[in-house]
Amino acid sequence: MSRRLAVRSPSDPLPWAFGAVIVGLVVIGLTTIGVRASVSADAENAAVQGATLVGDATAVQLEGATRPAEAAARGVAASVAADPSILADTDRVLDELGPLMDGQAAIAAITVIGEDGTVVELDRRSPGTVRTPDVPEAAWLDAARESGTVVWSDPERARDVGRTVVHAALAARDRDGEAVAVVAVRLDAGMFTGALSGSPAMTYGDASVIGSNGVTLAGDPALTLPDDAVVEAASAGTVAMGDPVTYARPVSDSLPWTLTVAVDATAALPAVASVDHTMVLYTVVIVVVTLIMSLVLWALRRPAGEVSVRARTDPLTGLSNRHHFEVRGNDVLQAARRRDGQVVVAVFDLDNFKSVNDEAGHEAGDDALRAVADGLARASGPRDVVGRLGGDEFGAVLWLSADEDSGYAVERLRTSAHMTLERAVGDRFEVGDRFEVGVSAGWADTADGEYRLPALVRAADEAMVGGRRGGKGVSYEATRR
């Protein structure tokens, strides 16, 4: 089946940013004709720029590698928050949480620690089984209980598997905001070793990733800023001049690890090593440096662009992921508030989706999710936001025209999703009439003056859940205040 790209995301700013940096470098190269300055000082600056560029690009690549684990943590937390009783039923744990590990080879285990003391664990070493390990005690688990976001642990040596691991932890909260469990997704350090080996840092030198506890996650554990070097602030961290140039920075605001790269200036900027202290050669060197930096930026455009896309989109459907949906949805609602516009927020869910995975397999389930995503995207407008909220749940923020009815707009998307699903994979889902798959929706609009996305999503979800008790395959309106 051929599919167009479902997601409507904003234009990627990376090409413009790369172009602006390249133009800036060209301008610098041209202005050096009239400059009589120290060649050594400019060469030193070029080395710092090259090291920070390589280090920052590597940090972006490492941060992107953590996205699947964070998505899995959110998916498990959403399932447990919706029904904490699943932790007491091994079969339900496998049925509802097991699929979240499918296709995520980097995830070694998922542990759920209930506030009532219940602990269950899905371990990739024992597929199809649920373990009940001892309750771990760690500061990052306590931080996850207090935080509303994913909390990452420092690297630690897991004795039961004999490897270094890290955890992404997230609290599952009920509708009152109270934590009912903490989800911990475990990753082996080998995943980060692989990500680091393919990074720009390893192309131009060496690198390491070390936790705040001093445990090495990936790379050379001996690689740190030299104790006797003169250091200065640069980009997002600190750089030490020397041969090689050493640059250290946090991987990101949310990851408590330090990335250190040692870049060989002569490898990254080969012309710097042979420059002469004359004006003619100085000009030539700057032109060569400009060319090399431009080529480095051009070489990085694809991996940086892929990281940017992964940060905004759901990898299965191509729609906005939950985070990007919330950001863009809030933008639409605030714009509507300023312009006195009307917006409807809808939540869509596949009816009997569990039977698809049980009866036809997860590949058929993925086909169903992609078909629904394509149907929703086809029926949405250029200012609308459509995203996958997790599992088989989708969301839409629709900007209504002056004479457009909220219920009609939502039903248009729901019908499109149902028809696309039926055309794409209906024959696989109706063999022997063993199950029937459809799409239900709930919606809430801004007619009552409510412009907060979480409140509108919650109202739409409650309308859908309540309405489906009476019948599926329909759009349900939230109760007016």
**pLDDT tens-digit series, residues 248-284:** 889 888 887 899 988 876 665 555 555 444 555 666 6
Residue 135 pLDDT:
64
Assess whether 237 and 135 both reside in one domain: yes
Rounded distance between C-alpha atoms, residue 380 and residue 150, angstroms: 31
- Token output for 412: 């248009």
Q: In which domain, by residue range, is 223 found?
A: 71-264
pTM: 0.47
> Within this chain, do residues 334 and 258 fall inside the same structural domain, yes or no?
no
User: Do both 258 and 375 map to the same domain?
Assistant: no
- Assigned domain for 401 exists: yes
Residue 328: inside a domain = yes
Cα 420 from Cα 378, distance rounded (Å): 9
On whether the CB atoms of residues 391 and 432 are closer than 8 A, the answer is no
Co-location of 104 and 178 in the same domain: yes
258 and 386, same domain (yes or no): no
Low-confidence ranges of the chain (pLDDT < 50): 1-11, 36-37, 275-277, 431-432, 434-435
Boundary (domain end) residue, out of 221, 247, 264: 264
Indicate the residue among 264, 280, 313 that finishes a domain. 264
Model pLDDT for residues 278-327, shown as the tens digit of each residue: 555 666 667 677 677 767 666 665 665 556 666 788 989 889 999 999 99
Residue 198 is part of a domain; what is its CATH number?
A: 3.30.450.20
My answer on whether 259 and 344 are in the same domain is no
Are 243 and 370 in a shared domain? Answer: no
Question: What pLDDT shows up at residue 356?
Answer: 75
432 and 329 share one domain = yes
Task: Give the C-alpha separation, 160 to 23, whole Å.
Answer: 54
Q: At 469, which CATH number? A: 3.30.70.270
**Residue 326 sits in the same domain as residue 259:** no
Contact 151, 144 (CB under 8 A): yes
Closest to 183 measured CA to CA, from 95, 122, 257, 251: 122
User: For residue 2, what pLDDT is reported?
Assistant: 37
- Choosing from 245, 264, 283, the residue where a domain stops is 264
- 29 belongs to a structural domain: no
Decide if 303 is inside a domain: no
With contact defined as beta carbons under 8 Å apart, do 369 and 392 qualify? yes
Tally the domains of the chain.
2
One domain for residues 400 and 252 = no
283 in any annotated domain: no
Question: Does 457 lie in the same domain as 342?
Answer: yes
